[in-house]
Amino acid sequence: MRILLVDDEPLALERLGFALKAIPDVEIVGTASDGLQARELIATLKPDLAILDIQMPGLSGIDLAQSLADSPKAPEIMFVTAFNRFALDAFSVEAVDYLLKPVSFDRLRIGIERVRRRMRMLDAEGRAAELATIVTELRADGAAEAQPARGAYDSGIWVPGRQGSVRVPIDTIDRIEAARDYVLLNTPFKCYIMRAKMSEIEQRIDPALLIRVHRSHMVRIAAVSGVERPGKGMLRLLLNDGTRLQVGPNYQDQVVERLGL
């Protein structure tokens, strides 16, 4: 994977570069200290992934990503920033991931693996497999129309994008996060953002697949890989992608029951 690093802080570039060297099959093809320079390097170097800071001179990371939106060979975008308030903007430009500084090695490794899966999904074979999956699901939906109880829940969620809408199958969603008037649908390949309330999404999803674990989080049961008890009366879930989620006090009993603890 060919990566371009973009940050106006030399120390941040150095730390990212050092961490990436420990990840197999990664090549840093260049670095830039501002958005305008980064745009030129992306055009000439054609990296697979651009890791961007957000607040930079000349052109912000968000503006840079937006300027690349219509490019047929635009790199995947990952943001690394000290501020969490730009997360909605980041996912609105279809960033693969959003990491907060200081970035741990494990979190960076997970982000890179997410990009790899995304790239594999988008190659010719991946697109064909994805289409076959969608066709199969649509056929299953049609067959299920005669079963009212089964049809009470959606098998996929349509998410508006820059060039149309994308159908996200429910069984690919590992977790759903509420963010003000939006929700973030986290899959192993990408995070999708849509305008909706968590309560609306919860009504559309089969509780046998995803459960509410917090007022701002739902989790796919099959994505839970471990459970931690950091203190008395506390419960924390470890997910397959390395994410740790605190279970809200009002949801602990149902989570314990559903997980069979």
pLDDT of residue 230: 83
| CATH number 3.40.50.2300 given to 2-112 | yes
Span 200-227, pLDDT tens digits: 999 999 988 899 999 889 999 999 999 9
Span 48-93, pLDDT tens digits: 999 999 989 888 999 998 888 777 778 999 999 888 788 778 777 7
Task: Report yes or no: 254 and 237 within 8 Å, Cβ to Cβ.
Answer: no
Report the candidate in 160, 170, 12 with the shortest Cα–Cα distance to residue 100: 12
What mean pLDDT comes out for the span 256-261? Answer: 86
Which residues in the chain are classed under CATH 3.40.50.2300?
2-112
Write down the residue that tokens 């990436």 correspond to: 20
pLDDT of residue 27: 94
Task: Report yes or no: 57 and 82 within 8 Å, Cβ to Cβ.
Answer: no
Question: Is the CA virtual torsion 27, 33, 36, 40 positive or negative?
Answer: negative
3-state helix, strand, coil in the chain (%, to 5): 40, 30, 35
Write down the residue that tokens 């997410």 correspond to: 114
Which residues in the chain are classed under CATH 2.40.50.1020?
153-259
Q: Of all residues in the chain, what percent carry a pLDDT higher than 70?
A: 87
| CATH number 2.40.50.1020 given to 153-259 | yes
Span 146-196, pLDDT tens digits: 444 445 788 899 988 766 788 899 988 999 988 778 888 988 878 888 888
pLDDT for 13 beyond 70: yes
End-to-end CA distance of the chain: 41
Residue 61: count of CB within 10 angstroms of its CB: 28
pLDDT of residue 96: 85
